[in-house]
A = this chain, B = another copy of it.
Amino acid sequence: MQRALTLAQGAAEQGEVPVGAVVVHRNTIVGEGANSPRARHDPTAHAEIIAMRAAAGRLGQERLTDCDLWVTLEPCPMCAGAIMHARITRLYFAAPDPKGGAVIHGPRLFDRPECLHRPEIYSGMREAEAADLLRTFFKARR
């Protein structure tokens, strides 16, 4: 999660909402991403999507079986859907997102009957730091 927090901090410095993510496969980081839709001109460029695309490309496979995703914020519906498609084994997220989250808030996609793959879900590690990055970012923009 330290690496994900560092990536989030880097996003903030670029004027992007500070969220960072890494994909870990057998104790090695195989993909990482910092939220960057503005810089990339890409509405799908959330940290999780970038990290999972990088990991799948590196591993040369469609799915991320045996991979864990660490992210500083609760994933949104787009990213939760991508986590399902990728068959991520364990999802670790730092801060909850009551407004935009889709894991323990809103549609709670992994708890729905039609959900095809539910990762193990762990949350709250480094939560204060991840939330503080977001709070500071939005406060400065007001």
Interface residues of A (CB under 8 A from B): 37-38, 41-44, 49, 52-53, 56-57, 59-64, 76-82, 84-87, 99-100, 102, 105-107, 109, 112, 114, 116
Q: In the bound complex, what is the Cα–Cα distance between A86 and B41 (angstroms)?
A: 10
Given A37-B85, A114-B100, verify A43-B63 contact (CB < 8 Å).
Answer: yes
Q: A53-B42, A85-B78 are in contact. Are A114 and B106 (CB under 8 A)?
A: yes
Given contacts A77-B102, A78-B80, A100-B116, 18 further A-B contacts (CB under 8 A): A37-B85, A41-B57, A41-B61, A41-B62, A42-B53, A43-B62, A43-B63, A43-B64, A43-B82, A43-B85, A43-B86, A44-B52, A44-B82, A77-B80, A77-B107, A78-B79, A81-B102, A107-B107
A42–B57 touching, CB < 8 Å: yes
Q: Copy number of this protein in the oligomer?
A: 2
Chain B residues within 8 Å of A53, by CB: 42-44
Residues of B within 8 A of A79 (CB): 78, 81
Residues of B within 8 Å of A99, CB to CB, are: 114
Give every chain B residue within 8 A of A42 (Cβ-Cβ). Answer: 53, 56-57, 62
Residues of B within 8 A of A87 (CB): 43
Query: A78 contacts which chain B residues (CB < 8 A)?
Result: 77-82, 84-85
Contact residues in B for A109 (Cβ distance below 8 Å): 77, 107
